[in-house]
Amino acid sequence: MAKIDFGGVLENVVTREEFSLSKAREVLKNEVVAVIGYGVQGPAQALNMKDNGINVIIGQAPEFKADWDKAVKDGFVPGKTLFPVEEAVTKGTIIQYLVSDAAQRILWPKIKPCLKKGDALYFSHGFSITYKEHTGVIPPADVDVILCAPKGSGTSVRRNFLAGAGINSSYSVFQDFTGRAEERTIALGIAIGSGYLFPTTFEQEVFSDLTGERGVLMGALAGIMDAQYKVLRENGHSPSEAFNETVEELTQSLIRLVDENGMDWMYANCSATAQRGALDWRPKFMEATLPVFKELYKRVKSGEECVRVLKSTGAANYKETLDAELRELGNSEMWRAGSAVRKLRPIK
């Protein structure tokens, strides 16, 4: 395990150089990895492992026809490498539980009796285990319980893998029955294409993940964009100008500079006027949003966000409610303007 300096703090990480794909294949050579759920993370992790020579089968409820058909289209064969959920769990030795958090609670009474002594129960999110008093997901004592959480969507996990880059993942062992839990976890992390792996706990993973999704990664990002666009439009700027200054320049230019060498490098490669304004206004935005982030983390840690998720996603009309909320977002003037702007981008 390599020691890496993260801003003055030394952390342990596992790289592909020290834990090679050939070593991962050796660790997993006698395993059957059953990927349960072919929705968001399932396809990416399953296909990456399959391409890396790992023995992968899929467990998917046939009644969810779109996901079943997608697995078939991706090359998994019913009766050979594609099975109903309970049959796949029975056949597997590593059970990758990759259905949604809400579905994990619902499916658990069917999954648990199918687990065998020495199996590994794998998660890509600490939600069900951390909030077990709400989910009821309490694994038996004679299995390994492990986590490998890619820091990106399933689409990014697959896209980065195909590009040869991989995506970073956190990993954790909650329960080590076999004595091989950590080795299995790291091997799986390499097999799904992680660029590197860093240790965490189930609890820390879910607390950081829920905070990030509700915060900078999605909720705060969208909210700040909405606010800036609104102010520009109220002051007479056109939809295209407001969108370009709010979204397009961020996604097509500035964030790529941040990705390459960091925020200070991006600042250094912008105009002096932009630099001065950003440096002056950065602390104002930090002070304005810090109380919101503190409230958010408190709600995540207390389990209030877990209860909100399970209650809302478990409602009978949730799909209709969700679709309506997404339509409202997509049909807003800002994102309709965005659709027009994207069509005008030069063809790559």
Active site residues: 125
Q: How far apart are CA 316 and CA 33, in angstroms?
A: 32
Name the residue among 114, 123, 64, 65 with its Cα closest to residue 93: 114
CB 93 within 8 A of CB 31: yes
* Alpha carbon distance 41, 313 (integer Å): 18
191 HSE (CA, 13 A, CB side): 27
* Contact of 58 with 46, CB cutoff 8 Å: yes
Strand order in the sheet with 2-6: 2-6, 9-15, 194-199, 167-175, 144-150, 120-123, 94-97, 33-36, 56-59, 82-83
Phi then psi for 12, rounded to 5 degrees? -85, 135
Kindly state the tokens that stand for 197: 């792996």
DSSP letter (8 states) at residue 178: S
The one-letter amino acid code at 88 reads: A
DSSP 99: S
